[in-house]
Amino acid sequence: MLSYTYTLARSVVKQKRIRDDLLRLLLSVYEHKQGGKFDYFKILKCQFFLKLPDAAAIMLLQLIAKGETHIAFQLAFDIQETEDQPFIQQVRNNVQQSDCAKKAELDRILKGELHDRLSLQFLKKNNHTDMVLIENLKKSIGEKNSITHGACVWANGIMNACTTNDVFLRDNLNWVAKATNWGRFSATASLGMIHMGNKKEAMNVLNPYFRGQGGPDGGSSPYSTAGAYYAYGLIHANQATPELVTYFTDGFRNSGGSETV
């Protein structure tokens, strides 16, 4: 009945006031459930929808204090993967200000570092993309068909998303550079799909495009530069930091009024 009521509150009830009242009632019942078996994930979701990051942080710290560190860590992964940035940041602030012995490990999870590393390792190891298929597609579309040229570049990006496997783009720089204008933007931006979550290597991958050296001839293109910014945003998706915001702001100010950038 609790689960059914929770589903109704999230998917059927449209009035925010009634929905919030229902979620508060559910949260109260979940937190005082008899028998010692708590549905911590549902408690966490109610806290998120009611915008209670302080309560979420307290729950994590209490679980660790009770010796249920594995549950706290799993909930931290859930927060990092499903909640929005302001909520995550407030939870992190509360954790960092605590005297919890495990706060460093908890913060690493909430920050996304551990999730990104494990996810990239798994997807790279289990990437079974047929690169011969992409190569044959490239050969079949000819030299001048910009629509299918762009489609091939995007197909490569989607098929290798989050795997860091950008071999096709690096091995076919001259062919990729045949794209012009927004096609070039898209080709560069597709690197963001391929390297999503690979924050440590983001600048190494994209620096040539930021410096105007993305093409095989070393030429500068505002579309490549703009695509590099888009890729940089994709790599850091849902994990904004003040430094990242500053980087984008500086890029905008130093763009020389380039509409594309």
Do 136 and 170 contact (CB within 8 A), yes or no? Answer: no
Residue 41 structure tokens: 């994930």
DSSP 3-state of 154: helix
Do 51 and 35 contact (CB within 8 A), yes or no? Answer: no
Picking from 141, 133, 185, 178, the residue whose alpha carbon sits closest to that of residue 159 is 133
d(CA 250, CA 258): 13
Q: What is the pLDDT along the chain (261 residues), one digit of tens a residue?
A: 888 998 998 889 999 999 999 999 999 998 887 666 788 888 999 999 999 999 999 999 999 998 999 999 999 999 988 888 899 999 999 999 999 889 999 999 998 888 888 988 999 999 999 999 999 988 888 666 778 888 999 999 999 999 999 999 988 888 888 888 888 899 999 999 999 989 888 899 998 888 765 554 445 688 888 999 999 999 998 777 888 889 888 888 888 888 888
179 phi, psi to nearest 5 deg: -65, 145
Q: Angle at which helices 69-82 and 85-96 pack, to 10 degrees?
A: 150
112 phi, psi to nearest 5 deg: 100, -5
Per-residue b or e along 230-259, where b marks 16 or more CB atoms closer than 10 Å to that residue's CB: bbbebbbeebeeeebeebeeebeeeeeeee
pLDDT the model gives residue 217: 46
d(CA 171, CA 150): 16
Do 59 and 51 contact (CB within 8 A), yes or no? Answer: no
CB atoms near residue 16 (< 10 Å): 8
Residue 167 structure tokens: 């071999």
d(CA 88, CA 154): 32
